[in-house]
C-alpha cells in the first residue's frame, strides 16, 4: 500500500516526501527529487507536489500551532502519517486559493483511510472541517506579543525573528519573513565557454521555456517554467549552470585574469569555481578544494559537463594551512560554510535545523578559514570572502576582525557591473550585502580584500 511505485497521486507523493523528511531528518530537496524520480508524474503534477512539500515545510510552525488549537491529542502523539496528512490539508485550505476547501478536506480524508484507519479519517475530517468554519482571527496567535505572533504567523523560529528585529527593525523583518516564504525564481548562468546568452535564450525559448535576462549579471537568465532541470538537454550539454545571480556576482568581484593561479578553498559543488574558470577562459589553474569526497565529486561532474579543463580538485581542510601554497595565488576565494540565513526561500529546512548556538560556533571556523586563506595570496593579490547569509557576525564582523589583525591587507572598492549594484553604496567600502526582500535575489555577502604588502 505504501509502496513508492504505486504513488501517482500528487498529494500522496507529497505525503510520502514529508513523511520521509521527518523520519530520516532528510534534506527536503534531496528527498523530493529522489521520490519524484520514481514517479511518472507530468510536469504540472510534479510542480504541485513541489508546491505542497515546500508549502508545508515553509509554514509548518503556523500549521502545527493551528493543529494544536483544534486537536485534543497533543501533536507529539499524533502519528507522523496523520500529522503530515493534516499539515497538507491545512496548507491547501489556508494558502492555495485555487483549491476548494471541500477538495482539500476530502482528499485528506481519503489519505487518512489509506494511511491510517477508519477512526483516523474521522479525526482528520473533524479537525479540517472545524478549521474551514473558523474565522481568520482564530487561526493566528494574539498580536500583543509581536515576536511570538510573527514567529508563528510567518513560521520562523523565535530567535531569528528577535535577532532580525534587533538588527533591521520590525517592518524590514516582516518583509523578510514574507519573502522567505515565497518561491524563489530559478536562474542559470550561461556557459560562455560554449555559447552566448542570446543564443542560449533562443534555444530555450524554442523548447517553450519562458526566459528573461537577469539584471544583475551578464550571463544570467531567469527561467520561469522549467521543471526537472537536470533532464534538460542543454543542461546535459553543459550550456548552463543553475546558480542564483547573487552567487554569480562573486566571480565578478574576484575578477580573475587569464593564466592566473586561483585557490578556491571551499569549492563544492563548484558553482563559483566553474564561473571563475569561464572568466579565465579555461586558462591558468584553479585549485578547487573541499573537505568532503562526495562533494568534490559534484565539482567534478559540473566541471566535466561544462567542458572545463583548468580546475584541479583536492581534498583539503580549510582549517589547516597548506605551507606549499603560501604566497602563491593571484586570487583566493573563501565562500565559507555559513548559517545560510540568506537562502531560506530555497532551503526552508534551515529554519528548523539551525539553532542560535550553531551560528555562534560557525563564526569561529569562518574566521580561522579566512586567516588561512589570506596566507595563500601573493602581494597585490585579491581575496574574496563571501557567504549566503545576512548575519553581520558571519559577514562584515569577520572581515573587520581579519583586517584588524592583518595590517598588510585592506578592503578595496568593488566595481559595479550593473545598475542594480551601483545602488548599493557599500560597494565603495569594499563589500556588498544583498537581501531577498530588497534585491529579489538570494541574501548574500561579498567582500573584496587585497594584500598590499
Ligand X SMILES: C[S@@+](CC[C@H](N)C(=O)[O-])C[C@H]1O[C@@H](n2cnc3c(N)ncnc32)[C@H](O)[C@@H]1O
Binding site for ligand X (CB under 6 A): 247, 266-272, 289-292, 295, 317-319, 335, 337
Which grid cell is 108? 485528506
Q: Which three cell numbers stand for residue 379?
A: 602581494
CB of 28 to ligand X, least distance (A): 18
| 335 annotated to a ligand binding site | yes
3-class state of residue 283 by DSSP = coil
Confirm whether 217 is a catalytic residue.
Answer: no
**Residue 390 C-beta: closest distance to ligand X, Å:** 14
| 266 labeled part of a ligand binding site | yes
User: Is the preceding omega at residue 434 within 30 degrees of 0, hence cis?
Assistant: no
272 marked among binding-site residues: yes
Q: 107 or 322: whose CB is closer to ligand X?
A: 322
The grid coordinates of residue 266 equal 571551499
Quote the CA–CA distance of 321 and 327 in Å, as a whole number.
12
Q: Which is nearer to ligand X, 226 or 276 (CB)?
A: 276
402 burial (CB, 10 Å; 0-12 / 13-18 / 19+) is buried
To ligand X, the closest distance from the beta carbon of 272 in angstroms equals 4
Cα separation of 276 and 192, whole Å? Answer: 11
Is position 267 annotated in a ligand binding site? yes
Q: Which is nearer to ligand X, 317 or 408 (CB)?
A: 317
Among 31, 217, 338, 388, the active-site one is 388
Q: How far apart are CA 119 and CA 116, in angstroms?
A: 8
What is the closest distance, in whole angstroms, from the C-beta atom of residue 393 to ligand X in the complex? 17
CB contact set of 249 (below 8 Å; sequence gap of 6+): 216, 217, 417, 421, 432, 444, 446
Annotated binding residue 271: yes
63: CB partners within 8 A, 6+ apart: 56, 86, 87, 90, 91, 94, 155
Q: Which is nearer to ligand X, 160 or 336 (CB)?
A: 336
Catalytic residue numbers read 388
Binding region for S-adenosyl-L-methionine: 266-272, 290, 335
Binding region: 266-272, 290, 335
Amino acid at each position: 500500500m505504501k509502496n513508492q511505485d504505486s504513488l501517482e497521486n500528487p498529494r500522496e507523493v507529497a505525503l510520502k516526501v514529508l513523511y520521509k523528511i521527518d523520519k530520516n531528518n532528510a534534506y527536503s530537496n534531496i528527498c523530493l527529487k529522489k521520490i519524484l524520480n520514481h514517479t511518472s508524474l507530468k510536469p504540472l503534477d510534479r510542480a504541485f507536489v513541489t508546491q505542497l512539500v515546500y508549502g508545508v515545510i515553509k509554514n509548518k510552525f503556523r500549521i502545527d500551532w493551528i493543529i494544536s488549537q483544534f486537536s485534543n491529542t497533543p501533536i507529539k502523539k499524533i502519528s507522523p502519517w496523520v500529522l503530515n496528512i493534516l499539515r497538507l490539508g491545512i496548507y491547501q485550505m489556508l494558502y492555495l486559493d485555487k483549491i476548494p476547501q471541500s477538495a482539500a478536506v476530502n482528499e485528506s480524508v481519503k489519505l487518512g483511510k489509506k494511511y491510517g484507519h477508519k477512526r483516523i479519517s474521522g479525526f482528520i475530517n473533524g479537525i479540517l472541517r472545524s478549521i474551514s468554519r473558523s474565522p481568520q482571527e482564530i487561526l493566528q496567535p494574539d498580536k500583543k506579543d509581536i515576536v511570538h505572533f510573527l514567529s508563528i504567523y510567518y513560521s520562523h523560529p523565535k530567535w531569528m525573528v528577535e535577532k532580525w528585529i534587533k538588527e533591521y527593525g520590525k517592518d524590514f523583518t516582516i518583509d523578510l519573513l514574507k519573502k522567505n516564504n515565497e518561491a524563489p525564481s530559478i536562474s542559470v548562468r550561461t556557459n560562455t565557454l560554449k555559447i552566448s546568452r542570446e543564443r542560449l535564450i533562443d534555444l530555450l525559448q524554442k523548447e517553450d521555456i519562458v526566459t528573461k535576462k537577469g539584471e544583475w549579471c551578464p550571463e544570467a537568465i531567469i527561467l520561469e517554467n522549467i521543471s526537472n532541470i537536470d533532464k534538460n538537454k542543454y543542461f546535459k550539454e553543459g550550456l548552463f549552470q543553475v546558480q542564483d545571480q547573487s552567487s554569480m556576482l562573486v566571480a565578478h568581484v574576484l575578477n580573475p585574469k587569464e593564466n592566473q593561479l586561483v585557490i578556491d578553498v571551499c569549492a563544492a559543488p563548484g558553482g563559483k569555481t566553474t564561473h571563475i574558470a569561464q572568466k579565465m577562459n579555461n586558462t591558468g589553474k584553479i585549485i578547487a578544494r573541499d573537505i568532503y569526497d562526495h562533494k568534490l565529486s559534484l565539482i567534478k561532474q559540473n566541471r566535466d559537463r561544462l567542458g572545463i579543463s583548468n580546475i584541479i580538485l583536492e581534498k583539503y581542510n580549510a582549517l589547516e594551512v597548506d605551507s606549499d601554497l603560501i604566497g602563491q595565488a593571484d586570487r583566493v576565494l573563501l565562500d565559507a560554510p555559513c548559517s545560510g540565513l540568506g537562502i531560506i526561500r530555497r532551503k526552508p529546512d534551515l529554519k528548523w535545523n539551525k539553532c542560535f548556538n550553531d551560528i555562534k560556533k560557525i563564526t569561529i571556523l569562518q574566521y580561522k578559514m579566512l586567516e588561512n586563506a589570506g596566507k595563500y595570496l601573493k602581494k597585490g593579490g585579491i581575496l574574496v570572502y563571501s557567504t549566503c547569509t545576512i548575519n553581520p557576525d558571519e559577514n562584515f564582523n569577520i572581515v573587520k576582525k581579519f583586517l584588524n589583525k592583518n595590517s598588510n591587507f585592506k578592503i578595496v572598492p568593488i566595481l559595479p557591473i550593473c545598475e542594480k549594484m551601483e545602488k548599493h553604496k557599500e560597494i565603495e567600502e569594499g563589500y556588498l550585502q544583498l537581501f531577498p526582500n530588497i534585491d529579489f535575489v538570494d541574501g548574500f555577502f561579498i567582500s573584496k580584500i587585497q594584500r598590499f604588502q
